[in-house]
Amino acid sequence: MKKSLWLWLVPCALSVSVSCGGSGSDLSSPGSAGEAGASNNDAAGAAGAAAATSDSGGNANSGGDAGAMGVSGGATSIAGGSGASTTGGAGGAPGQAGSGGAATAGSAGSVGSAGAGGAPVCKGTAASCTTLTTQECSAAKGCGPTNSCSGTPTKCSTAATSAACTKVDGCSWVGNKCGGTATACASLGTDTVCSDSGCLWDPACTGQPPACTTRVSAATCNKVSGCHWSGSCTGTADACSTNTTSVLCTDGGCSWAACAGTAAQCASLSSVECKAQPGCSAI
C-alpha cells in the first residue's frame, strides 16, 4: 500500500512542475515570471515558459516595451528566476522598439532686409529774408532779425573825454577817467545807442526818406518823423534807420523789413532745417 502510494505521487510531482510554469504573455504585455520549480531529489524544476515577444512598437515618439523572458528553472529544489524586463532570455526574444516619431523643428523664417529708404530731399525756392516775419526769421537759415545791434562795444577805459565816455552805454566818467563795463551790443535796442557804443546797427527800416518839403498837407507832413507843418512842411526827415516801428518807417517813405540776410537755398539744407525754411519742403 505505501509503495503504490509513492509510485502515484512521483508522476504527479513531475506533472506539477511542468504544468505549473509561468505562461507566456499575450502579444502586447510582458510575460509573467516563471514560477519556482518543484523541489525533488531526482529532477530539476522545469523552466518557466518563455514570454512571447511584443509584436508592435510603442506609440510614436516612445520606444516599445521589451518583451519579458522566461528563465529556466534552477537546480533541484531551486525556484525558477523571474523574467527580466529589459532583454529577452534564451526563451523569449526582446520586443522590438517602436520607431520614435521624428519631431523636426520648423526652420526659422529669415529676417527680412530693411528697405533702403532714401534720405529726404529738400526742394523748393527759399523765401527772401526780407519777406519774413520776425518769428520766421529766427528759424530761417541765412537770415537774421533786423533792428538788432551786433559787434563788440567800445571799452570804457579807451574813452579819453567825459563826452566820449558817457556815449558808451554802461560807462561813466569818474575822477578824470572812464570806468565801468560797456553793455554788450546785442542788448542795445536803438540805432543811436548801438552806434554810439561802437556797435553795428542792422535796421529794419531802410531807404532814404523824401524831403519834408515834398509833403503838401499837414496830415502827410506830420506823419514823417522830423517834419513839421506850419502852412508848409518844413524840417529834416529822420534817417530811415531810426524808425523803430513799421508804421513810422512806411509813413516816413522808407521800407520796413523785419528780417535781413541771404536765405540758404533749399537743396543745401538738412531735413530739419528744410522744415523751418519758408518756401522749402522735404519730400
- The pLDDT profile of the chain, 283 residues, written as one tens digit per residue, is 444 444 444 443 434 333 333 343 343 344 343 343 333 333 433 433 433 433 333 333 333 343 333 333 333 333 334 433 333 334 444 434 444 444 344 444 443 343 344 567 899 999 999 899 888 998 899 999 998 999 999 999 999 999 999 999 999 999 899 999 999 999 998 889 999 999 999 999 999 999 999 999 999 999 999 999 999 999 999 999 888 889 999 999 999 999 989 999 999 999 889 999 999 998 8
Rounded Cα gap, residues 31 and 241, in angstroms:
118
Rounded Cα gap, residues 179 and 184, in angstroms:
15
What pTM did the predictor assign? Answer: 0.48
Strand, helix or coil for residue 122:
strand
Under a CB-based contact definition with an 8 Å cutoff, are residues 133 and 259 in contact?
Answer: yes
Length in residues, the chain: 283
Quick: pLDDT tens for 226-253.
999 999 999 999 999 888 889 999 999 9
